[in-house]
Amino acid sequence: MGKIRYVQRVNSTRHTEAALPHIDRLGKISKVRGYRVQIDQKGLQCKEEYVMVYGEHGTARFFATWGYSGDGPRTLAKLLEKCGFHKDTAELIARRSPRFDSVGDDWSVEVKPGENVGEGDELSHTIHYRPNGEVGFAEAA
C-alpha cells in the first residue's frame, strides 16, 4: 500500500473539523507543523496558513489558524487532540503560538520516539517556535 496524502481542498475551519477523521488513517503521529505559504489567487498575492500532520502511513494537510481565541484555534486544538496530544498541550499550541506575517514555519511539535505512553496519556513531545528575530502577532507562554 502506498503512502496516504490527504489535502484539504476547502479552506474553512468548518471543513477542517469535518476532515479530522482522516488523521486516524495516518497511524502513529510523529510531527505536526504550522506554517504559512504565499499563493497566487487570480493575480492577487495572498498568504495562507496550514497545519501538516506527519504519520507513519503518510501526511495530511489541513487549513488552520493559531495565536488568538476564536474558531480557528479551537479547531486546531481539536486537531491536535485527535493526533494524541493532551488537551492542555493542544490549547497551548493553538492559542499561544506566535503568528508571523512572513512565509515559513511558525511552530512545530515533534513526538519523541519510543517515549509514548498508553492511550489517553500525554504524548512525550517537544515544541519548536520560529527563532527570535521576527516579531509575531502573539507571544508564546
pLDDT tens, residue by residue, 90-105: 898 888 888 888 888 8
Cα separation, 125 vs 89, whole angstroms: 10
pLDDT (average), residues 41-66: 89
Average pLDDT, the chain: 79
Distance of CA 40 to the CA centre of its chain: 22
